[in-house]
Amino acid sequence: MKLPGNMQQMMKQAQQMQERLQKEVAAIRVEASAGGGMVTIQMDGQKHVLGVKIDPEVAGDVEMLQDLVLAACNEAAKKVDDETQQKMGGMLGGMGLPPGLF
């Protein structure tokens, strides 16, 4: 099915924007910490954990360590979401499309 010229151009532009957004999201790197920096997590834009730093002081308290790692991971994931939304809003804002469409 052939789309009218204007619609075909819009679809091509949307596809290019989606590809650019995927590259930008893949390049996101965030760092979040919990417990005043006792646990630090580094995460990429696809929410893969890239690194973990743990202060030796908390290594002996397993329950506290578990809570701090969980909190730092959740904070890093929130930062990834925030940066992704910011990038999407900037790109889609010019087209007048609602976020989450692509």
How confident is the model over 33-72, as pLDDT tens digits?
999 999 999 999 999 999 999 999 998 899 999 999 999 9
pLDDT for position 93: 61
pTM for the model: 0.72
Residue 25's identity, in one-letter code, is V
Name residue, tokens 């009218």.
4
Cα–Cα dist 32/50, whole Å: 12
Q: What distance in Å separates the CA atoms of residue 20 and residue 48, rounded to the nearest whole number?
A: 20
For 28-87, CATH gives: 3.30.1310.10
Report whether 39 contacts 51 (CB < 8 A). Answer: no
